[in-house]
Chains A and B, each alone.
Chain A
């Protein structure tokens, strides 16, 4: 090969490398871009893709409470309840004083029908905030689902007193009473719900007993 051709080849190769580097450098998104994209993907109904972006963020910026928490949420929305639960637990470890990840954990547990685990998760929240309404409501539901109707009814009754317009609490109480054989008492509650929400499916079911 002549010197002219070797030089031309050397310059071409060097140029190509330089161009590739610049190109590569120009395509790598920033963490903020990844976040932005994850929100856009979530909003457009593509949580799995959003999860992937979060994984990239994690790889790029390292693990953090926010990464774990948001990943957990996206996994829940995507229907991967096991992974979501794991991510929420990781977030709770990262922020031991935070109620948020513990409350978040209740979502995949509820969706995955892990009632005993849900009961424990709710009690974790309530140890930090004894009056947390949502935790109590989810605990009442968990207790109902594991067949602990007396404690479920007691919780629902308290919630009904505190949040009388929240019809889910009332139907929850009605069903707990029904499972304890107190059907007449339950139907009074279902009737009150139907009076203000005629198409409430839970209450309608209750009235057929």
Chain B
């Protein structure tokens, strides 16, 4: 019996309702169905390609048909259904190793879907299932590394130079050191602690806005300790963070404060930051509600209003920011227009401890990944300030500038927090 070699497949379409209707039996439905299914797939009609085989073979005991239906189901994005089909195929005569590859592919798709949804725990589980089916699956390995470790501890160390100038008030310079340790216990809980040491060097008599003036004859130095400690709880869609703050300056008694942030959403949502400080002249409060959106995996946008209320009055400031993530490089820019006082930045964390009004300003941070775990950072912050002076005193404006360099380490080889 000689079988003639053939080139590309061609077939006769048999499109019909389930077998045995309209006078057709399964033999009629199966004749030519395979080739036609391939043709439909090539035309992008995946569902039709699959349904053609299902009509012919139903709940098939054919390994080849089940394998192909599983493949088409996977291409249609129905990963879990595809896994069930691949597993069924594994029990059929003629089963081969490609079923493991199919199962791995399906689990990998699920893993990336979970990553997209922000659920790292489920993503991790899916990628691990994929690697169980096919240990060398490169995409699953990549996905698992993107999912990050369940527990991650990071540390960053910054050194800053700060300079403030006022028309009437002189100039002072400062140096600061900052260390920040976020500790992600698991996908839900995180603790954070940070410490900043701030030392000013200023001509006597000048004001750093941090306390009483000294006689203008020599340079004086003040120092300040800032301690931040807090924790957060989160899931892919909700989060809450609380933080305690102590600011201990050589010029004034220690100031206690707190910050909080709550957010809802994933790729887009609402975030509300809040801060309060028990300052010498009374409590100051601030709240910053903002909307955020990540129109792509690489760009995030936010906009909100910071409302400040303290002994000096109530102020509002429009705040906007943009984040850009491009491979090993990340950039963050945030600016405001409107008066702010003691603005709290929970992400860092930091407070601009000045008794002046910050009228307009912005800051930018650039992080450059040196390796999977190490990054180098540079940050700049500029503010236009207006000195708070007694009534009748001439206005005094100036600027606040800080420039920082830092390094960051993370135990999570690839995972990046959104």
- Residue positions of A touching B, CB distance < 8 A: 116, 119-120, 137-138, 141, 143-144, 146-151, 153-154, 157, 168, 171-172, 175, 179-181, 185, 201-202, 205-206, 208-209
The CA-CA distance from A5 to B5 in the complex, in Å, is 84
Identity of the chain A residue whose Cβ is nearest the Cβ of B65 in the assembled complex? A150
CB distance from A208 to the nearest CB of B (A): 8
Is B9 part of the binding interface, using a Cβ–Cβ cutoff of 8 Å? yes
Cβ contact within 8 Å between A175 and B3: yes
Interface residues of B in 6-45 (CB under 8 A from A): 6, 9, 11-12, 27, 30-35, 38
* Chain B residues, CB < 8 A from A172: 1, 3
Cβ contact within 8 Å between A147 and B12: yes
Cβ contact within 8 Å between A150 and B5: no
Given contacts A148-B33, A208-B5, A209-B5, 16 further A-B contacts (CB under 8 A): A116-B27, A119-B27, A120-B27, A141-B3, A144-B3, A146-B30, A146-B31, A146-B32, A147-B32, A149-B34, A150-B64, A153-B64, A185-B96, A201-B2, A202-B3, A202-B5
The CA-CA distance from A32 to B19 in the complex, in Å, is 52
The 7 closest A-B pairs by CB, nearest first: A147-B32, A146-B31, A205-B5, A150-B64, A150-B62, A148-B30, A175-B3
The total of Cβ contacts below 8 Å across the A-B interface reads 70
* Chain A residues, CB < 8 A from B64: 149-150, 153-154, 180
CB distance from B19 to the nearest CB of A (A): 13
Cβ contact within 8 Å between B1 and A157: no
Cβ contact within 8 Å between B3 and A151: no
* Chain B residues, CB < 8 A from A157: 93-94
CB distance from B283 to the nearest CB of A (A): 74
The CA-CA distance from A205 to B11 in the complex, in Å, is 21
The 0/1 profile, CB within 8 Å of A marked 1, for residues 315-342 of chain B is 0000000000000000000000000000
The CA-CA distance from A194 to B32 in the complex, in Å, is 29
A-B contact pairs, 10 of them (CB 8 A): A119-B27, A146-B30, A147-B12, A147-B32, A147-B33, A148-B30, A149-B64, A151-B30, A175-B3, A202-B3
Is B198 part of the binding interface, using a Cβ–Cβ cutoff of 8 Å? no
CB distance from B27 to the nearest CB of A (A): 6
Most buried by A among B2, B5, B32: B5
* Chain B residues, CB < 8 A from A138: 1
* Chain A residues, CB < 8 A from B3: 141, 144, 171-172, 175, 202
Chain B contact residues: helix, strand, loop or mixed: loop
The CA-CA distance from A168 to B65 in the complex, in Å, is 24
The CA-CA distance from A124 to B370 in the complex, in Å, is 74
Cβ contact within 8 Å between B30 and A141: no
Contact size range, B: 20 to 34
**Of A116, A144, A168, A175, which one neighbours B5 at CB under 8 angstroms?**
A175
Is B228 part of the binding interface, using a Cβ–Cβ cutoff of 8 Å? no
Interface residues of B in 361-375 (CB under 8 A from A): none
The CA-CA distance from A157 to B3 in the complex, in Å, is 16
**Of B32, B34, B93, B96, which one neighbours A154 at CB under 8 angstroms?**
B93
Is B57 part of the binding interface, using a Cβ–Cβ cutoff of 8 Å? yes
Cβ contact within 8 Å between A168 and B1: yes
* Chain A residues, CB < 8 A from B38: 181
Cβ contact within 8 Å between B6 and A150: no
Identity of the chain A residue whose Cβ is nearest the Cβ of B29 in the assembled complex? A148
Identity of the chain B residue whose Cβ is nearest the Cβ of A140 in the assembled complex? B1
* Chain A residues, CB < 8 A from B93: 154, 157
